[in-house]
């Protein structure tokens, strides 16, 4: 079955590709690829995104029942396509400082230490990963006229060059042109570009067709002498200088965005929300609708900021997000004293929400007998919900929809599940089911109950990510927490607006004719 829509079902006779690499992480690769995907999609080009290998804890469930990086799901959205595992065939999800879960074609294979990816012992992994990458890429070539490819990190990491499948190693095998983006806001943009180019081999240097300078603010006339020098020194064109886009709200690949969004428009009717940030927090994009909400005073609480304070800011809701290593993050919470502060918050009438790993933490026991996420063992939970959780080899990866029931009301929702654990009730009379759900590709008779609401109405917990993305469900949850006049926020509409805004900027500031010439 083709991944393309019905209007683009024929296999093109010719294909093109363009790869975006960066001088550093967070140079703007993901955003540039998403913007280019939207530009070409608006021009009715049959375009798809691709990232050979990604390392991220923000992921999305695909239409074919796997998972990929969140940034590639956004890029698929920019192409008006459902997310598919071929868009990101290799995903690494860090579970510790030295280990990561390996996900190939959407399915978790194993957990490996860093030396298995990058050291002398990495050949077996790289052979397997490269084969998966090229299988996906060849399929996309057959189904799409254009593939826009995103690199990872920097191509100039000389300690990681051998067997590279994420940057120039892939570009060489796939024989595709490369442009390099650099972030001028970090400083040293010309050194970044010249240094990156200098550390590439002659063949790789020839593959680089131009540069893009990102996040520029100021007087362009002051930058022009540097651009003239760069083009003369490298014999490579600068294909565009992109302005700094204030308040660009798009799904983050992995970095936690902790900047104020907008002033509260009605300070007399507001809600304060705290989200706990542990070391292996995952899918924090769940909270983008709350960060963007004009009636919510939103804060992340981390070890580096509020966690070490004697008193947390007053909060109406405290949220325990997902985690890639639940037992380790639970131990971190206790080290920070967050468990005590959480119970203090509940004692004074505050509300608590647990999502996925946060849901598991609030139970009585978390058992990892096979060492799925880390060392095998059991951990006592926070004891806030009468559940026990056992981590299993099989991983739940489903898109779901259904109805959220709260305070004698209900609202439709859609979302997704990504978890290794199965939770079961130890006592049935202290909680009530909160969600009626069914798997998105199954008929309604397959619907089942999910999630818990404590009988005192203070704790809400679920395995489902993306609840706040559904405007009616978000309003119902905020009403449960005390914001009875919650405004309607549609994150999908915001995402659509922001992608079109980004595409407008790229069309205005990039040399699109030269870019199209590289692709043809």
Q: Are residues 62 and 167 in the same domain?
A: yes
Q: Are residues 410 and 361 in the same domain?
A: yes
The β-bridge relationship of strands 47-50 and 146-150 is parallel
pLDDT band at 335 (very low <50, low <70, confident <90, very high): very high
Q: Are residues 208 and 90 in the same domain?
A: yes
> pLDDT digit string (tens) for 6-45?
333 333 333 599 999 999 999 999 999 999 999 999 999 9
CB atoms within 10 A of CB 4: 20
Marked catalytic residue, from 79, 284, 465, 474: 465
What is the rounded distance in angstroms from the CA atom of residue 62 to the CA atom of residue 82?
Answer: 7
Average pLDDT over residues 428-435: 69
Q: Are residues 181 and 313 in the same domain?
A: no
Q: Are residues 148 and 295 in the same domain?
A: no
Average pLDDT over residues 405-413: 88
Whether 111 maps to a domain, the answer reads yes
Helices (H) and strands (E) in the chain, counts: 15, 25
Element (H, E) at 327: helix 326-336
pLDDT band at 314 (very low <50, low <70, confident <90, very high): confident
What is the rounded distance in angstroms from the CA atom of residue 491 to the CA atom of residue 292?
Answer: 9
Element (H, E) at 499: helix 491-509
pTM: 0.88
Residues in the chain: 520
Whether 373 maps to a domain, the answer reads yes
What is the rounded distance in angstroms from the CA atom of residue 50 to the CA atom of residue 515?
Answer: 18
Question: What pLDDT is attached to residue 10?
Answer: 37
Q: Are residues 224 and 349 in the same domain?
A: no
Domain count, the chain: 2
Strand partners, 48: 147
Q: Are residues 177 and 29 in the same domain?
A: yes
Question: What pLDDT is attached to residue 13?
Answer: 34
Residue 375, class by beta-carbon neighbours within 10 Å (0-12 exposed, 13-18 middle, 19+ buried)?
A: exposed
pLDDT of 491 higher than 70: yes
Q: Are residues 287 and 221 in the same domain?
A: no
Asked whether the CA dihedral 385, 386, 391, 395 is positive or negative, the reply is negative
Tell me the C-alpha to C-alpha distance, in Å, between residue 321 and each of 65, 153, 235.
22, 26, 48
Average pLDDT over residues 115-127: 64
Q: What is the pLDDT of the chain when averaged over all its residues? A: 88
Q: Say whether 79 is catalytic.
A: no
Q: Are residues 412 and 508 in the same domain?
A: no
In 3-state terms, what secondary structure has residue 275? strand
What is the rounded distance in angstroms from the CA atom of residue 450 to the CA atom of residue 461?
Answer: 9
Marked catalytic residue, from 37, 356, 420, 474: 356
> pLDDT digit string (tens) for 200-220?
999 999 999 999 999 999 899
Question: What pLDDT is attached to residue 7?
Answer: 35
Element (H, E) at 141: helix 123-143
Give Rg (Cα) of the chain: 23
What is the rounded distance in angstroms from the CA atom of residue 196 to the CA atom of residue 193?
Answer: 5
CATH of the domain at 242: 3.40.50.300
Q: Say whether 378 is catalytic.
A: no
12: which 2 tokens? 């093109």
Which ranges constitute the DSSP H helices of 175-219?
189-198, 202-207
pLDDT of 286 higher than 50: yes
With b meaning 16 or more CB within 10 Å and e meaning fewer, what string describes 165-178?
bbbbbbbeebebbb
Whether 461 maps to a domain, the answer reads yes
Question: What pLDDT is attached to residue 162?
Answer: 82
Element (H, E) at 236: none
CATH of the domain at 462: 3.40.50.880
Element (H, E) at 427: none
Q: Which residues contact residue 8 at a Cβ distance below 8 angstroms, ignoring those fewer than 6 apart?
A: 2, 46, 144, 145
In 3-state terms, what secondary structure has residue 256? coil
Dihedral pair phi/psi, residue 22, rounded to 5° = -130, 155
Whether 378 maps to a domain, the answer reads yes
Tell me the C-alpha to C-alpha distance, in Å, between residue 96 and each of 92, 93, 299, 328, 377.
12, 9, 25, 9, 16
Q: Are residues 157 and 233 in the same domain?
A: yes
Which is higher by pLDDT, 306 or 365?
365
Q: Are residues 469 and 332 in the same domain?
A: yes
What is the rounded distance in angstroms from the CA atom of residue 320 to the CA atom of residue 59?
Answer: 18
Whether 2 maps to a domain, the answer reads no
Q: Which residues contact residue 90 at a Cβ distance below 8 angstroms, ignoring those fewer than 6 apart?
A: 52, 53, 54, 102, 103, 104, 129, 132, 133, 165
Half-sphere exposure of 152 (CA within 13 A, CB side): 23
Percentage of the chain with pLDDT > 90?
68
Domain that holds residue 48: 15-248+497-519
451: which 2 tokens? 């999630």
In 3-state terms, what secondary structure has residue 72? helix
Asked whether the CA dihedral 305, 309, 315, 318 is positive or negative, the reply is positive
Q: Tokens 């990604």 belong to which residue?
A: 54
Whether 466 maps to a domain, the answer reads yes
Half-sphere exposure of 501 (CA within 13 A, CB side): 14
Asked whether the CA dihedral 406, 322, 287, 250 is positive or negative, the reply is negative
190: which 2 tokens? 């010309």
Q: Are residues 233 and 292 in the same domain?
A: no
**Inter-residue contact 361 to 354 (CB < 8 Å):** yes
pLDDT band at 259 (very low <50, low <70, confident <90, very high): low
Half-sphere exposure of 172 (CA within 13 A, CB side): 18
Whether 262 maps to a domain, the answer reads no
Question: What pLDDT is attached to residue 115?
Answer: 57
């Amino acid at each position: 079955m083709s991944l393309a829509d019905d209007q683009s079902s024929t296999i093109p006779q010719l294909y093109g590709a363009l790869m975006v690499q960066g001088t550093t992480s967070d140079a703007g690769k993901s955003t540039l690829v998403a913007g280019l995907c939207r530009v070409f999609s608006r021009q009715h080009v049959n375009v798809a995104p691709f990232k050979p290998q990604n390392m991220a804890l923000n992921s999305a469930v695909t239409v074919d029942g796997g998972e990929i990086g969140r940034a590639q799901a956004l890029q698929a959205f920019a192409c008006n396509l459902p997310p598919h595992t071929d868009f990101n065939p290799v995903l690494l999800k860090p579970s510790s400082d030295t280990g990561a879960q390996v996900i190939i074609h959407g399915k978790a294979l194993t957990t490996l230490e860093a030396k298995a990816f990058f050291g002398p012992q990495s050949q077996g992994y790289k052979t397997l990963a490269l084969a998966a990458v090229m299988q996906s890429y060849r399929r996309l070539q057959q189904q799409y006229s254009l593939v826009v490819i995103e690199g990872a990190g920097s191509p100039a990491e000389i300690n990681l060059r051998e067997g590279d499948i994420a940057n120039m190693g892939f570009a060489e095998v796939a024989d595709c042109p490369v442009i390099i983006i650099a972030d001028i806001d970090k400083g040293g943009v010309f050194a970044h570009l010249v240094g990156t180019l200098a550390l590439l081999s002659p063949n790789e240097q020839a593959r680089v067709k131009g540069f893009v300078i990102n996040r520029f603010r100021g007087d362009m006339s002051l930058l022009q002498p540097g651009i003239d020098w760069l083009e003369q020194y490298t014999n490579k064109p600068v294909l565009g200088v992109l302005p700094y886009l204030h308040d660009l709200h798009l799904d983050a690949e992995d970095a936690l965005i902790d900047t104020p969004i907008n002033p509260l428009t009605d300070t007399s009717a507001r809600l304060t929300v705290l989200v706990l940030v542990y070391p292996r927090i995952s899918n924090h994009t769940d909270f983008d609708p709350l960060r963007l909400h004009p009636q919510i005073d939103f804060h992340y609480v981390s070890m580096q900021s509020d966690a070490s304070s004697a008193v947390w800011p007053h909060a109406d809701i405290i949220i325990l997000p997902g985690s890639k290593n639940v037992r380790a993050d639970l131990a971190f919470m206790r080290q920070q004293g967050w468990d005590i502060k959480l119970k203090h918050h509940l004692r004074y009438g505050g509300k608590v929400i647990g999502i996925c790993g946060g849901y598991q933490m609030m139970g009585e026991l978390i058992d990892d007998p096979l060492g799925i996420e880390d060392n095998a063992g059991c951990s006592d939970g926070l004891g806030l919900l009468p559940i026990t959780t056992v981590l299993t080899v099989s991983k739940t990866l489903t898109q779901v929809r259904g109805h959220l029931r709260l305070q004698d009301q209900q609202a439709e929702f859609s979302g997704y599940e990504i978890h290794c654990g199965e939770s079961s009730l130890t006592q049935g009379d202290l909680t009530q089911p909160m969600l009626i759900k069914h798997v998105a590709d199954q008929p309604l008779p397959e619907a089942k109950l999910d999630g818990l609401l404590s009988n005192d109405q203070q704790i809400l917990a679920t395995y489902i990510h993306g609840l706040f993305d559904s405007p009616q469900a978000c309003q119902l949850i905020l009403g449960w927490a005390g914001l009875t006049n919650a405004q309607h926020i549609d994150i999908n509409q915001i995402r659509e607006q922001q992608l079109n805004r980004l595409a407008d900027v790229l069309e205005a500031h990039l040399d699109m004719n030269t870019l199209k010439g590289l692709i043809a």
